[in-house]
Amino acid sequence: MGKIIFIEHDDTTHVIEFKVGSSLMQVAVDNAIPGIDGDCGGECACGTCHIIVADEWFEKTGAPGDDEEQMLSMTPERTKTSRLGCQVKTTEAMDGMTVRLPEFQM
């Protein structure tokens, strides 16, 4: 178990417990985090789980794959640390990680 800090675009903060091996999208959806819809169910096909990982945590999320890069290329609020939450599996090393949520999802 660990905790992830989700920060909405208006700075509303949610500190959520996670089980190692869950996707960040599933953690957010299971805890009704506003702004993370996960419309495709975690298949990397919709972009409605876009998150912006804090710089200091980005390396812990691994590298985005080609499909994820393609989805992110269509995201208007993409940053250098953008990821799709469905593609990031939680690890013990992510305990305390902070992710921001963009104002708009695809």
pLDDT tens string, the chain, 106 residues long: the values are 899 999 999 999 999 999 999 999 999 999 999 999 999 999 999 999 999 999 999 999 999 999 999 999 999 899 999 999 999 999 999 999 999 999 988 7
DSSP H or E segment with residue 44: none
Residues in contact with 33: Cβ distance below 8 Å, sequence separation at least 6, in sequence order: 6, 8, 14, 16, 101
CATH number of the structural domain 2-100: 3.10.20.30
In this structure, the strands spanning 13-18 and 82-84 are unpaired
- Taking the domains of the chain in order of start, what are their residue ranges? 2-100
Separation of alpha carbons 27 and 90, rounded Å: 9
Q: Which residue has the tokens 């990680």?
A: 97
Compute the Cα dihedral for 105, 8, 40, 60 and give only its sign.
Answer: positive
